[in-house]
Structure 1
Amino acid sequence: MIQFDHLTKGFWVRGEYSPVIRNLNLTLPTGKSLALLGGNGAGKSTLLELIAGTMQPDRGDVWSDGSISWPVGFGGSFHRDLTGAQNTRFLARVYGVDTDELMDFVQDFAEIGRHFHMPLRTYSSGMRSRLTFGISMGIPFDTYLVDEVTAVGDQRFRSKSQALFRDRMKRSSAILVNHNLEELRSFCDAAIVLENGSLAYFTDLDEAIEHHKRNMAAPLNNA
């Protein structure tokens, strides 16, 4: 269960406060893998960071009765001057998992070779995504927050990532952002739609996708 209690977040743009999340009150059920839908700039990444606790709200709170990953694909949990191996060891200690097991898992999964022992500042965006996805999938969370990461790499690596993610979903839930709607259908069984700072929960994924498509087709939402 994830609960939003009067959650509000915005940013100052050219001296004017622009709210992204507006006084949000909603409870997301346990055990559902949710597609997070919304247009570009709607605040999907901001919402994921608020849920993870990597960003603080302006007002309100986010509550959960289970463990939540950091947003996979977001590098804020990683130190750019540490190596991939050092970041992996650090997060293993933070989340209380076996360091050697996580190191072996990530090094095998990420397929970044000698870069695993080089500073993150030397990584390409693809290598960072492989590392963050590998570490997060190597740590057991009740809910995974995933932002487009299963699209990283060539077809073989994408298939490998999708297979691993599907395996994790046998025991956990997720909130997944992905512009590939067919991929969302293969992973998710419900959806939340973020629009104008408000979040709507849909038990029917197809209904949510159609609602999202109508939003995107509306003239005022094309930006």
Structure 2
Amino acid sequence: MIRLEGLNKTFIMRGRRKVIANDMNIVFPKGVSVALLGRNGAGKSSLLAMISGFLAPDSGKIHIEGSLSWPVGFAGSFHKDLTGAQNIRFIARVYGVDTDGLIDFVRDFAELGPHFDLPVRTYSSGMKSRLSFGVSMGVRFDTYLVDEVTAVGDADFKKKSRAVFMERMNASGSIFVTHSMGGVRNFCEAAAVLEKGKLTYYDDVEEGIAAHQENMGGDEDDDD
């Protein structure tokens, strides 16, 4: 469960105020996959960053019960001079999970071959994304934070990634940012719509999609 209490966040951009959160109060229930919807620039990624702890709010509180993932697919925390395996070993120790088990899972899942034992600085962006997605799925969390990307690579890899993500959602919840309404319908049970610093929660995902599309003035991407 994640509860936002009186959350406020404003950016000053080119001399103008951009309000991301205006006295935001909302509860994301335990074990529910919630789509975080909003127009481009509404502040969805910034809100996710505040929930994850990467960005501090101006005021207000964020209460988290249970374990919370870093944003799935985020590769910025890898040490570039360590190998993929060494980075995974470090993450396993930080989160208190079985080191050998996590390394075996990520090695198999990410499909990096011999690159798994090479420094991350030699990786392409796609390889880093595979490594990051693999370790995100390898560590079990009560709530996963997902910003746009749930998989990279070819069709077979994307299919495998979707399957493991859906399996994780059987026992966990998520806050899921995407512009694909097909993705929302595939992965989410509820929705929260961000508009002008206000966040409105919908228990029915279709109601949330309808409210978001009304804000957008029409249909958004409906691809899967």
Question: Contact conserved, 2:73 with 2:136, CA < 8 A, in 1?
Answer: no
Matched, 1:121 2:121: yes
Post-superposition shift, 1:120?
A: 2.7
Distance 1:151 1:99 in 2: 23
Distance 1:151 1:180 in 2: 14
Distance 1:78 1:48 in 2: 20
Question: Contact conserved, 2:148 with 2:177, CA < 8 A, in 1?
Answer: yes
Which residue of structure 2 lines up, in the alignment, with residue 161 of structure 1? 161
Which residue of structure 1 lines up, in the alignment, with residue 28 of structure 2? 28
Distance 2:119 2:16 in 1: 38
Q: Which structure 2 segments of 5+ residues have no match?
A: 219-224
Higher percent of residues as helix: 1
Which residue of structure 2 lines up, in the alignment, with residue 136 of structure 1? 136
Distance 1:89 1:12 in 2: 40
TM-aligned CA distance change 1:76 to 1:10, over 3 Å: farther
Q: Partner amino acid for 1:85? A: A
Which residue of structure 2 lines up, in the alignment, with residue 221 of structure 1? none
Distance 2:75 2:20 in 1: 21
Distance 2:84 2:10 in 1: 32
Which residue of structure 2 lines up, in the alignment, with residue 201 of structure 1? 201
Post-superposition shift, 1:15?
A: 4.1
TM-aligned CA distance change 1:43 to 1:104, over 3 Å: same
Distance 2:84 2:171 in 1: 27
Question: Contact conserved, 1:148 with 1:179, CA < 8 A, in 2?
Answer: yes
CA offset digits 1:62-84 (Å, max 9, x no partner): 11111100011223333333322
Q: Partner amino acid for 2:177? A: V
Question: Contact conserved, 2:28 with 2:34, CA < 8 A, in 1?
Answer: no
Over the matched positions of the two proteins, sequence identity in percent amounts to 58
Distance 1:95 1:157 in 2: 26
Which residue of structure 2 lines up, in the alignment, with residue 39 of structure 1? 39
Distance 2:198 2:175 in 1: 16
Matched, 1:182 2:182: yes
Q: 25-34 vs 164-173, which deviates more?
A: 25-34
Post-superposition shift, 1:61?
A: 1.6
Normalised by the size of structure 1, how large is the TM-score? Answer: 0.91
Distance 1:126 1:136 in 2: 15
Post-superposition shift, 1:58?
A: 1.8
1:11 counterpart SS class: strand
Q: Partner amino acid for 2:21? A: I
Q: Which structure 1 segments of 5+ residues have no match?
A: 219-223
Distance 2:145 2:65 in 1: 15
Post-superposition shift, 1:23?
A: 2.0
CA offset digits 1:25-72 (Å, max 9, x no partner): 111211211111111111111111111112222211211111100011
Q: Partner amino acid for 1:87? A: N
Q: Partner amino acid for 1:195? A: E
Q: CA RMSD in A?
A: 1.6
Which residue of structure 1 lines up, in the alignment, with residue 4 of structure 2? 4
Which residue of structure 1 lines up, in the alignment, with residue 149 of structure 2? 149
Work out the number of aligned pairs and report it.
218
Distance 1:124 1:201 in 2: 38
Which residue of structure 1 lines up, in the alignment, with residue 82 of structure 2? 82
Runs of 4+ in 1 over 6 A off after TM superposition: none
